[in-house]
Structures are given as C-alpha cells and as structure tokens.
Amino acid sequence: MTTTTISGTTLEVDAEGFLLDPGQWNEQVAEAIARERGIERLTDRHWLVITFMRKTFLETGSAPSIRTLGKASGVEVKELYQLFPKGPAKLAALIGGIPKPRGCI
Amino acid sequence: MPAPIRGKLYAPGRARIVLGISRSRRVAAPDSVAAGVGQYVGAMGHRIVILGGGIAGTLAANRLRRLYGDGAEIVVVDRDDRHVYQPGLLYVPFGLTEPEEIVRPRAKFLADGIELRLGEVERVEAGDNTVFLADGTSLPYDVLVVATGASLLPEETEGMTGPGWNESVFTFYTLDGAVALRDALRSFEGGRLVVNMIDMPIKCPVAPLEFCFLADWFLHERGVRENVELTFVTPLDGAFTKPIASRMLAGLLQEKGVALETEFATGRVDGETGRLISWDERELPFDLLVTIPLHGGPEFVARSPGLGDELGFVVCDQHTLQAGVAPNVFAIGDATNVPTSKAGSVAHFQGETLVENVQRFFDAEPLVGSFDGHTNCFIETGFHKALLIDFSYDVEPLPGRFPRPHLGPLPLLKESRLNHRAKLLFPWVYWNVLLRGRELPGIGAQLQMAGKTAPTAKGEPE
C-alpha cells in the first residue's frame, strides 16, 4: 500500500493509483486525479459518468464495465472513449475514487 | 436424491454459516427466513415451470422429476425441439464434427412425465406468478426456473452483420455460422486470420483460444500455415481472465506463433475493407475474421419487470441461485448474472444447489448457499492434446491432478494427450450423464483444493 497527497489530503492508494477507501474521495480529489491523467477540466458529461460509477459501486459492491456504462450511465460508448481516453471504465473509476473494475470473469 | 447437505446455510441479511447436517436432521427455518415465503405457503401446489430446454433446463427438470415424481407438475418451455451440443460447435469449422451429429430432439432427453411446451416466451410477471407466451397463452407457476441461456447480439456491434457477414466475417457460436466458416476455412490459402472477442461475458470463455490452437493445427495439416498470420484480439489485458492460466495460455499462443493483441475494445467491423476498428480508433486489418459477438440475456428478460440486469441476465444470489425478483424464482446456467464462466459444467455443478433450494422453498426452509462458482473446462490445444482447468469464485485455475488428488489421472493446467482423449469422450457424458441430471463419479459439485498446487506469495504455483 502506498499513499499519495492530492490537494493537501493524504490518500491511501493501490499500486495503480486507485483509492483504497472511497470515503476519502471528494470532488477536489477527482479534479486533481483527472488533471494528473491529462483531463484538464471535468465537464457535466464527465460528472454524469463518475457519479453513476460511484453510485453503482456503493450500491452493488462492484464497478460497472464499459458495456454497462454505455447502456445505463446516459453516455454512449463512443463518447465514453472521448471523455475518458483509452480505458473509460478504468479511468472513470480512478477519478471516481473506487476500485478498478474487474470487468470480467 | 440430492446428496446430504454439506454446504453453507444462507439466510438473507445474515452471514453464511457452514452446515454439516444430513437430510434427516434439518434445522428448523428461522422466522426471518420463512418471512417472505409465508405468502406462498398454504394451499401451495407443486407446479414448476422451467424456461429453456438446453443443458441447464434439461438437467434441472430431470433432477426435479426424480425428486418429486408425480408430486410435482413440471413444464419445460422452449421455442424449438432442437438441442444443440454447444461444445461441438468448435469442431464444426475444422470438419471434426458433422453439424447433424450435435443436434438432437430436446424431448428425448426429458424424463417421462415432464411436459415440453414449444413456444416463445413473451414475458414473466413475477408479481402474478405467471409466464406469458407470445401465442397469448399464460402459464401460472408455483416455482419458476429460468434457464434460457445467453443470446448472441452481433447486430449490437456496428458493421458486424453488414457487408462480408458470413463471407469474410464469421462466428462459430451458431450452427449456421460454424458451417459457413468451415467452408471458408477449407479454401483459405493464406493472409491475415483474426480471432476476436468483442467483450465479456461470453459462453465458454476459452473457446476463442481453442479456436486459435485448432486453427494453427488445421492450417498446418493443410500445408498453408506459413502463409497465414494468425492473431488473437481481446479486450482483456491478457489471454484469459485468470492470472496463472492467462500467463500459461499466452505462452502456448506464442509457442504456436499466434500473435496476441490485448486491450482492444472493438467499436466496429468493416467487412468491406477488412478492418477491425477499436473505440479509440486503432485499426487491425483482416482477410478472415472469426468473431465472438456480444452476449446478452434473451429479450423476454428485458420485458419482465425486475427480472434481469442491464445486459438481460437474471439477477440472482450467486450462492443460492434464488432470483432477486421473487423468492419463488430461480435461475441456472448461462441465464444468470453470477460471476463465473458461462459453461455447461457450471450448469451441472449448479444443479444440486438449485434442486435443493427449490425443495427448501416449497418446504419453507432456509436456502443453502452451496454453489461456489465451480467451473471445469477442457481446452483443446491442437495436435491431439488438451488442457484441463478447474476453478471457482475464490480459486483460480491451478496446476494439479483431477479428479482424484495427486492420482488424477488428468493433469490440470498442463497439455496432455489424456486430456484430449477425455474430451473426445465428453459428448457421450453430456448426452447420457449431465443431461439426465446424474452425478459424475468422483467429481463433487464443490471445487476441492486437495491435489491442487496453491500459488506462493509471489503469485506463482510452486
């Protein structure tokens, strides 16, 4: 386990930077992580996805896959890749302060 | 009769506790568990409707019939009377199985006394304990078992069913597709052969890898292997979903000269110019594409209030198989949303838990959470060899021996001719043992750790 300091707060993260405790997350943390990963500003569309991810994780205990995001978050898969380049589910989870989606079995 | 209960006692809202009692020494149902069941108790009949007559529905029907005899009315609903032995689809493109060999009438495998009703399911109204069929008839039930499997959704990927479909773009996950691919492979002289899966979950997650291994062998036998660039393209970050097996299988791909392209999330297929295009605009050219389309639950699930998740799989408890929508609804096999492989072996291992819990529901007793995600698959690796893997929710595929610890005779996670020979016997086992709802001697429903080599702290088996 490692720690990282974002906007003055010390956070516990795993080897890939995912927050270990979703309770340590707040909007400033999200914006700081996003900037670190090359997303300069989080728009309403970003927040729609991030909020959906957190809500799903906190309710069900697992982070949604890209396919689930595309069907249920209100943002289609193509746009997800524009908002969160390369790996939308992974990146949105990282910014949303929840564990990495397992995605598959 | 099902085996004595040696599972975990499951009660909603409580921790699961391990139970080791025999059927004759049952504990009484705690009030909290019986609650919610009570409304069904009383003048309850034993009318069981099973949706789906594939492996899961058939073995569930036969097990329930054996348990209840004439004490329950069992109706199996399917849209047709053609039962496809799905593991056989892999062999069709290589001419190793004739299409008609893997299709048999469903009715032939349902025990006497079980009714097979042919019809399309319109929807389930769990609140009314009723299944509605497309022809307007309704089927009331006391217990419903959903065993309708997974559906292929090729039209959900842009361009897949457009130009080139069944000409240069194929899937072997349907009988027609497998036959069309067989004809194309016979005359394939060289070029880029791409094997691709769009996204998980898919039925038999090892099948795309087996296809690569068998294609390598088949093209070699035809004398054209060196003219073919063979590539496996996956959205996952490795060859398979579980780390140790993934590394082992990636090594096998490499040995056979199959290129591995990971983290490729296919956005569309262009059959006209022969390109796979990812959501982030990466492109992979192909001359022949073998793709595994997206999977989802059947359409009626989406039309049935509260029954499925957003992909159409039935939401159910991963240990008891009871559906979230109502206590008298259960699911088994590929139709469920439980986080294990979609495979016939899973349906077989779930059978015991399902039947036990249907009985416990009727008897207003607490359900058992005995299903552990147990999965068992042969992986054909070509040149008359195969691997065998055995895993569960908590235990990834490990090296060892199966089914008897240390004695085997089948080696786990290791190529062998014996595994291949066992796989060749498998169709007989499928039609004569699994569908009948019988047990395989020496192979329990729960995964056993004995005989498996656990990984060391470094994550590698010793």
Confidence grade of residue B457 (pLDDT, cut at 50, 70, 90): very low
Instruction: At B426, list the tokens.
Output: 């498998």
Q: Is B459 in CB contact (< 8 Å) with chain A?
A: no
- Whether residues B241 and A104 touch (CB distance < 8 A) is answered with yes
Give a yes or no: residue B185 inside a domain: yes
pLDDT at B454: 76
- Chain B segment 281-340 residues within 8 A of A by beta carbon are 294, 310-311, 339-340
pLDDT tens for B2-53 read: 433 333 333 333 333 323 333 333 333 333 343 344 344 434 689 999 999 9
Say yes or no: B224 and B315 in one domain. Answer: no
Kindly state whether residues B97 and B16 are assigned to the same domain.
Answer: yes
Tens digits of per-residue pLDDT, B392-438?
Answer: 999 999 999 999 988 889 999 999 999 999 999 999 999 999 999 99
Q: Is residue B96 part of a domain?
A: yes
Supply the pLDDT for residue B357. Answer: 98
One domain for residues B33 and B136: yes
Residue B121 belongs to a domain: yes
Asked if the interface predicted TM-score (ipTM) of this complex is over 0.90, the answer is: no
Residues B110 and B59 in one domain: yes
Domain at B104, CATH number: 3.50.50.60
Tell me, yes or no, whether B128 and B173 share the same domain: no
Domain-ending residue, one of B260, B295, B330: B295
- pLDDT for residue B91 is more than 80: yes
Containing structural domain, residue B265: 152-295
Same domain (yes/no): B29, B143: yes
The per-residue pLDDT for A11 is 87
Count how many domains chain B has. 2
Closest chain A CA to residue B337: A105
Tens of pLDDT, residues B93-137: 999 999 999 999 999 999 999 999 999 999 999 999 999 999 999
B272 and B165 within one domain: yes
Residue B315 belongs to a domain: yes
Kindly state whether residues B111 and B230 are assigned to the same domain: no
Query: Smallest CA–CA separation between A52 and chain B, in Å?
Result: 14
3-state SS, one letter per residue, for chain B: CCCCCCCEECCCCCCCEECCCCHHHCCCCCHHHHCCCHHHCCCCCCEEEEECCCHHHHHHHHHHHHHHHHHCEEEEEECCCEEECHHHHHCHHHCCCCHHHHEEECHHHCCCCCEEEECCEEEEEHHHCEEEECCCCEEECCEEEECCCCEECHHHCECCCCCCECCCEECCCCHHHHHHHHHHHHCCCCEEEEEEECCCCCECCCHHHHHHHHHHHHHHHCCCHHHEEEEEECCCCCCCCCHHHHHHHHHHHHHCCCEEECCCCEEEEECCCCEEEECCCCEEECCEEEEECCEECCHHHHCCCCCECCCCCECECCCCCEECCCCCEEECHHHECCCCCECHHHHHHHHHHHHHHHHHHHCCCCCECCCCCCEEEEEEEECCEEEEEEECCCCCCCCEEEEECCCEEEEECCCEHHHHHHHHHHHHHHHHHHCCCCCCCCCCCCCCCCCECCECCCCCEC
- Where does a domain end: B257, B277, B295? B295
Average pLDDT of chain B to the nearest whole number: 89
In a domain, B51, yes or no: yes
Q: With respect to residue B405, please indicate whether it lies within any of the assigned structural domains.
A: no
B456 pLDDT band, cuts 50/70/90, is low
Judgement on whether residues B12 and B146 belong to the same structural domain of the protein: yes
Residue contact A85–B280, C-beta within 8 A: yes
Q: In chain A, whose CA is at the least distance from the CA of B339? A: A105
Picking from A72, A81, A102, the nearest residue to B279 by CB comes out as A81
B280 touches chain A (CB under 8 A): yes
Query: Which residue in B has a C-alpha nearest to residue A76's C-alpha?
Result: B279
124-163 in B: which are within 8 Å (CB) of A? Answer: none
Q: Mutation target for A interface from B199, B266, B279: give the one with most A CBs within 10 A.
A: B279
Q: What is the pLDDT of residue B35?
A: 36
Q: How far apart are CA A58 and CA B301, in angstroms?
A: 25
Res B460 pLDDT > 70? no
Chain A residue with minimum CA distance to B243: A105
Q: Is the pTM of this model over 0.80?
A: yes
What percentage of chain B exceeds 70 in pLDDT? 89
pLDDT the model gives residue A1: 61
Which residues of chain B are within 8 Å of residue A73 when distances are taken between CB atoms? none
Look at residue B17 and tell me if it is in a domain.
Answer: yes
- Residue B30 has what pLDDT? 39
- Give chain A's domains with CATH numbers: 2-96 (1.10.10.370)
